[in-house]
Amino acid sequence: MKNITNWIGIDDHADKWTIAHYVGASQEPAREWELMPSESGYRKLIGWLREMPGKVRVVYEAGPCGYEMYRRLRRSGLECEVAAPSLTPRKPGDRIKTNRRDAQKLARLYRAGELTLITVPDARQESVRDVVRAREASKEDLLRAKHQLSKLLLRYGHRYRGGNHWTQRHWAWMGQIILAERASNEVMKQLVRTIEQRSAVVTEYDRLIAEIAASAEYAPLVAALSVLRGVDRLTAMTVLVELGDLRRFERAPQLMAALGLVPSEQSTGDKVQRLSITKTGNAHVRHVVVEAAWHYQRVVRSGSRIRKRRTGQPAELVAIAEKCDSRLHRRFTRLTSRGKRSTVAAVAVARELAGFIWAIGQQMY
């Protein structure tokens, strides 16, 4: 009995857990049942798992309920894994989806080794990640409010032509505008107030991220990644809190695939058709890496800012960064000179930039 492995699939939901238990290679579940996600539910689940003879393997999919189940089971000495839901195999003809079927499928696929398991962050890393993601969401909210205000003014014939928007001169210009209708004027005032409030929120998040990045835990890692052009403090922090230890990727293409930066493909017979990137992976890191890739469109110059970031860093990291400068600018130029759109070139350069980030990640720790 000690050699038997119990495979447990759990469909994790906010209102209930649906559990499927398979013993060894059995085709039918030995037990299916449900529990409420509460303290009582955890006690029943952990007690039941501990009483099982042989090995116990538990899996559930990552979702809005987070990693509380993973951490509780691990603290109790039980083996638990979390699967990436976007990479769980699905039959094209299967049109029936229930909690019970999902739990069964998870247990069977886990037993077959067909699930893609994720690396669960520790509590500290997850809390910092919450800050970085909240800042990103607040920035999007701020941009949305700015667009609403600018489009409101445009509808009433007010268009700023004095240079860049959202500068002091732009704000002074808007302060002189009084719309004819009282209701529209009130909307404009509320949008201005919203922008000011959301700007303050973003500023506070920036302050908090800067404080965390300067801590002993993150400062050396942020400095190491910042030797790359286009990778500032926020980009480095996003990479660190979203991906964790970059050494878990054995090769650079694995990191590229984890960010969804590799091209998708539909090939059959002798016909090979490569399409746009998969976008299957961490969208937060993919976004900041693509943004960083645009810095290689311009001629590479060793300005004071990049020299300051590279001063005092190990020679190996500086060598990687300098190689990145020349290679990616050359790559960007060649792609655009062949007629590729700059947006397409930026994504291609971002894929290679992820490779340089991986290379530095192998040297950081």
pLDDT score of 1? 55
Decide if pLDDT at 94 tops 90.
no
pLDDT at 275: 81
Per-residue pLDDT of 100-122, as tens digits, reads 999 999 999 999 999 999 999 99
Classify strands 79-83 and 55-61 as parallel, antiparallel or unpaired: parallel
Residue 290 and residue 44: Cα distance in Å, rounded? 47
**What would you measure as the largest C-alpha separation in the chain, in angstroms?**
83
* CATH number assigned to the domain with residue range 5-112, chosen from the 4 options 3.10.310.30, 3.40.50.970, 3.30.420.40, 3.30.530.20: 3.30.420.40
- What is the sign of the dihedral through the CA atoms of 310, 316, 319 and 320? negative
Mean pLDDT computed over 25-39: 95
Nearest Cα to Cα of residue 99 among 7, 8, 20: 20
DSSP 8-state class, residue 6 = E
Count other C-beta atoms under 10 Å from residue 71's C-beta. Answer: 15
What's the pLDDT at 2?
65
Computed over every residue of the chain, the mean pLDDT equals 94
Domain limits, CATH 3.30.420.40, in the chain: 5-112
Is the separation of the CB atoms in 68 and 76 below 8 Å? no
Q: pTM to 2 decimals?
A: 0.90
Bridge partner residues of 18 (DSSP): 11, 34
Quote helix, strand, coil % in the chain, to nearest 5: 55, 10, 30
